[in-house]
Amino acid sequence: MVAAMTDLFPPWPLFSAFLLASLVLAVTPGPSVIYIVTRSLVQGRRSGVVSVAGVALGNLGNAFAASVGLAALFAVSSLAFSVVKYAGALYLVYLGVRMLRSSPVENSAAVPAAAPHPRIFRDGFVVALLNPKTTIFFVAFLPQFLNPDAPPVFQSMALGFLFVAIAAVTDSGYALAAGAAAPALRRSAVRRLGRRLGGGVFIGLGLFAAFAGSRGAK
């Protein structure tokens, strides 16, 4: 049993390289980090942490998809890739428009204690899951660290889970740091500007996801 578990990970020199590369990639700001920071600034620390959980679960879905070969479908079918990519982009734009159209009363109620956490979790999950470039990233990144003598599907799932866990830790750091600044924003006269900025960021992320190339990770 112990031997079977150790087969899920490469030898230590390669495994240490995987951990270092994962940490560097996780702390590098990308669309998910911007999404989480925006949530934390606009709606508070707890909302940011809930977004981290939703994004992590969505990324796990992408890691699983990569393990079972869905990324291969995206690679050979531009239609499948485009459908998922544009669905995710439209959802980001929808979140931005919804934030821009929210009233000051709604925004004042969106403090951490009153934030609709199930909806925030769902939003983070959908945003991360409907990003096929994350699946492509996993299928390109994880094979570099697989042990050829062990089943590749289970190895890639284990490494994908570990990568998502590392990213969740670093994303939580971003959420906590941004959430610490949220009370000052809510007490200041720029609260409305912060809401508009957050909505603009979501719309910008949606447009970026729609028109960017196939590169991208997190």
Is 186 among the domain residues?
yes
Is 178 among the domain residues?
yes
pLDDT score, position 211: 75
pLDDT at residue 161 greater than cutoff 80: yes
More reliable by pLDDT, 107 or 100: 100
Q: What range does the domain containing 65 cover?
A: 30-211
Percent of the chain's residues with pLDDT above 70: 80
Is 25 among the domain residues?
no
Instruction: Write down the pTM of the prediction.
Output: 0.77
Is 15 among the domain residues?
no
Is 133 among the domain residues?
yes
pLDDT score, position 105: 45
Is 42 among the domain residues?
yes
In the chain, the number of structural domains is: 1
| H helices present in the chain, as ranges | 2-6, 12-27, 31-43, 45-68, 70-76, 78-101, 104-109, 117-129, 132-141, 152-187, 191-211
Is 73 among the domain residues?
yes
Among 51-55, 109-113, 130-134, 143-147, which is the least confidently predicted range? Answer: 109-113
For 17-55, the pLDDT digits (tens) are 999 999 988 998 888 888 999 889 888 889 999 999 999
